[in-house]
Structure 1
């Protein structure tokens, strides 16, 4: 009986952690550029995951035919999506980042149909439309700064790529340890990002890590928001259908908005709330059980 709640608990926990991630990112990004922050975050996460895998005695064996799939998870989810999240958050706000990326479940419906052959119902099609209109409301309507509009567009890319990655995770055999899968995918992301980071690394940014606030922020992003949250999300997806799994993204905008308002004193306008209502409505339609 208890087993059926493990997947939902993992997904809800991961989404809640990511909601707080946008607030922490907003602070750390004032000192460290997005790409360098992604790289630092993954270095910390990789060390954490290796220790966790070693302590729990996980098997590192992966069949060759599944390697391209794991690489795709690393590139699409851990490079494109995460980098887009950081860039979009820097250009906009913590609430905007959390809210726009909450459209991910609706996008998962489309990818689940294409890759997993899940049936697209009228309700699922309507949900995708509502979520898309909601994103457009947040990004392109109202008297908001151009940087916020651009940030919203980049965050939309983050939502799309994370949705694709989440569906790809469902195609990886559940017999593999999700600790090991997450470790390999993050290692692939580090290999891709490192050449770009090395060419633009700045000692000022490295010294900033030793500032208490920035250092704790980097550790939180690496250990909690990456190593632990990625593992929880992948584990939860193994145990819950792709469409219903998206339901737990509701926890992300709730946490992001509350923390952004409480800690960063961010304010939102009417178009933000209109877009938020549309996104919530779309996601609810997409994931609600028959």
Structure 2
């Protein structure tokens, strides 16, 4: 792997983290005019449409084997579970509790990567994850009152934990699909598969609330929220997230999730003039150090693994 491509995978997950930086605030705000499950459906439906148009415009031929369609449907199930539990959990919790997503998702992804895919969890990788997690806690402690994590709605916290696990599942079980086809194909058809699942949940939600689809207001605010969540936080971010899986392990890609609060708070300071305290600076440096340690260690391991694969291919050819 060349010096550039050795770390090029980082741009995808890093960009995805940037797009997710303001997602909690936008989604929480959007629930004042669109119910959570319904907004989840609108988000994924718009994102799936945008990704499908991307496939068509790039002229990419999918050529998906019929035997692989269940894998795409399975990924769609992970997506639907993630969105439903994340949005409902966000509605029921506060900002500090919402930070559980950031801390737990990489941990779940590394554990699943090791148990499901047999990915190695070396000491540098484990150490980098711990360092990045500590940095994230420092950042969150400076922004929120951590005592409120134990307060409030326990069901909402439980839903956020499930959402963290589900996104880790989407990441880990997406590895084989991404590497057989492409990041764009995997993101597109898994999102499309999730759309009818979330449509059912949205219909149930609206029925329980005694509302119809016509009750959803069409305003500048609702259009902006749906567009941001559907086009930026879904279509673009999910493709970029999966793009990282084309190069390295699921556990390595997941570590970039720790950068989400760093990017989100930085954007808030840059665009909204929000205050940044010293704890944010210290925590950000700690997070970046942990992510760098993991990405460097796995880049080295990827080189060794690739050399081993090439050697095996040569042996198979000679035989």
Question: Which TM-score band (shorter chain)?
Answer: 0.7 to 0.9
In 2: Cα distance, 1:6 partner to 1:128 partner: 20
> Structure 1 residues 286 and 33 mapped into 2: Cα distance closer, same or farther (>3 Å)?
farther
Q: Is the 8 A contact 1:39 1:190 kept in 2?
A: yes
> Structure 1 residues 280 and 158 mapped into 2: Cα distance closer, same or farther (>3 Å)?
farther
SS of the aligned residue for 1:147 comes to: coil
Please, which moves more after superposition, 190-199 or 159-168?
Answer: 190-199
1:121-136 superposed matches below 5 A = 121=122
In 1: Cα distance, 2:126 partner to 2:255 partner: 16
> Structure 1 residues 150 and 260 mapped into 2: Cα distance closer, same or farther (>3 Å)?
farther
Aligned to 1:160, which of 162, 165, 184?
165
1:149-228 superposed matches below 5 A = 149-172=154-177, 174-201=179-206, 206-228=214-236
Aligned to 1:242, which of 220, 245, 250?
250
TM-score of the pair, normalised by structure 1: 0.79
5+ residue gaps, structure 2:
298-319
In 1: Cα distance, 2:295 partner to 2:162 partner: 24
For residues 174-230 of structure 1, the C-alpha deviation after alignment (integer angstroms, 9 at most, x for no partner) is 241322222211121112222232244365764544111121111111111111111
Report the counterpart of residue 287 of structure 1 in structure 2: 294
SS of the aligned residue for 2:186 comes to: helix
SS of the aligned residue for 2:56 comes to: helix
The Cα of 1:253 is off from its aligned counterpart by: 1.8
Q: Is the 8 A contact 2:129 2:291 kept in 1?
A: no
> Structure 1 residues 143 and 60 mapped into 2: Cα distance closer, same or farther (>3 Å)?
closer
1:62-101 superposed matches below 5 A = 62-76=64-78, 78-94=79-95, 96-101=97-102
For residues 32-91 of structure 1, the C-alpha deviation after alignment (integer angstroms, 9 at most, x for no partner) is 111101111112112211211111001132113322222221111x11112221122222
> Structure 1 residues 119 and 251 mapped into 2: Cα distance closer, same or farther (>3 Å)?
closer
Please, which moves more after superposition, 206-215 or 120-129?
Answer: 120-129
5+ residue gaps, structure 1:
none
Report the counterpart of residue 13 of structure 1 in structure 2: 15
Q: Is the 8 A contact 2:178 2:245 kept in 1?
A: no
In 1: Cα distance, 2:8 partner to 2:121 partner: 27
> Structure 1 residues 123 and 240 mapped into 2: Cα distance closer, same or farther (>3 Å)?
closer
The Cα of 1:149 is off from its aligned counterpart by: 4.2
> Structure 1 residues 109 and 196 mapped into 2: Cα distance closer, same or farther (>3 Å)?
closer
Please, which moves more after superposition, 223-232 or 59-68?
Answer: 59-68
Report the counterpart of residue 116 of structure 1 in structure 2: 117
Aligned residues: CA RMSD: 3.7
In 2: Cα distance, 1:113 partner to 1:238 partner: 18
Q: Is the 8 A contact 1:28 1:214 kept in 2?
A: yes
> Structure 1 residues 285 and 157 mapped into 2: Cα distance closer, same or farther (>3 Å)?
farther
Q: Is the 8 A contact 1:8 1:236 kept in 2?
A: yes
SS of the aligned residue for 2:174 comes to: helix
In 2: Cα distance, 1:204 partner to 1:41 partner: 18
In 2: Cα distance, 1:6 partner to 1:123 partner: 20
In 2: Cα distance, 1:145 partner to 1:115 partner: 32
Aligned to 1:28, which of 13, 21, 30?
30
TM-score of the pair, normalised by structure 2: 0.73
